[in-house]
Chain A
Amino acid sequence: MHALATLLPVGAPALPLDEAGKYVAAAFIVFMVLLVVYVAIMAAKLQRIEKELRELAGFAENRAKGEEAAPARDEVSAR
């Protein structure tokens, strides 16, 4: 502990806990907020991907129905 104390800046006295606690809390809260914001952005991205996938699934289903209906029409017209 003494070795570290000699390396730290001279004239930087220990802050009383109430004042120091404010800064320490701010630093850790900033970290957590950044993490939460990042996760929220990623969640929004994943929602967008999910929406696109739903659209594509709908598009593929409609196309498949159209292809099924087309041969049936051809058969009717051939008769």
Chain B
Amino acid sequence: MYGKGLRPLSIATVVAILAAFSLVFFYAPLDADQGFIQKIFYLHVPLAITALIGFVIGGLFAIAHLRSGNRKWDAYSYVSIHMSVIFGVAVLITGSIWAKASWGHWWVWDEPTLVSFLIVFLMYATYYPFRYAIEDPERQARYASVFAVTAGAFVPLNFMAVRMAQSLVHPRTFGTANGGLPGEMMLVFLCCLATMALLWVTLVKFELTAKSASGQVKRLRRALDAPAPGGASRIAPEVS
């Protein structure tokens, strides 16, 4: 059921990635100040925005789970957060590479944007041991949902706090008094953002399909009263 439409979605994602990266290298103009290194912007920022929105979506699915009690929403929430954590790893690594090239340091501790993202990432990194520590699946799902809602609410608050902080080194690119990105750069950026969002959706669907297949196999095993293979995951929720 979850695998429906996965193939065209995957093909569309691959095509979108190729198109977006082609635009980055062959269409977007070179930045006057940073030059070629600014190309990382088209990868790093869309990844960060997608990861943060993914965390919020995970919180929204968790609300749906707490309201309905349907475990399906808990699985959606788990997969959304899981995917956003993976995107978060990519954000931190690409950001560090950009920081090293631009500022000469892999990490700058007095920069609110960097540190706030790290805080959000580390907070979500605790989601896994938090889930794993609870044996009872019902309690596990409920507590994980409460965590996802609380952390999901923290993400936009954290973002607003950072925007209000006066940064010395991190550039403000959108909605500033001095204008924003020039048209061509903005177009490429929006294409990259749409591509990363598409990639996120595809991977979430991919993960849900795998979890659904795994859940169906477990159901079949129970129905046949077959011996369990062992090594089953206690962290990941089942999708039926």
Contact = CB atoms under 8 A, between A and B. Distances in A.
| Chain A contact patch, size range | 35 or more
A1 B217 contact: no
Contacts of B86: 34, 38
A27 B207 contact: no
Contacts of A46: 210, 213
Interface string B188-212: 0000000000010001001100100
A24 B181 CA distance: 20
Describe A's contact surface by its main secondary structure: helix
B35 A27 contact: no
B103 A49 contact: no
Interface string B82-110: 00001001100110011011110000000
A38 B203 contact: yes
Interface in B147-205: 169, 171-173, 176, 178-182, 185, 199, 203
B1 to A, nearest CB: 15
Given A3-B180, A27-B97, 8 more contacts: A3-B179, A4-B182, A15-B34, A34-B90, A49-B214, A55-B229, A56-B221, A60-B224
Interface of A: 1-9, 12-15, 17, 19-21, 23-24, 26-28, 30-31, 34-35, 38, 42, 45-46, 49, 52-53, 55-56, 59-60, 63
19 contacts: A1-B29, A1-B32, A2-B32, A3-B182, A4-B31, A4-B185, A7-B178, A9-B169, A12-B33, A14-B34, A20-B35, A23-B100, A27-B44, A30-B97, A31-B94, A49-B210, A52-B221, A53-B217, A56-B220
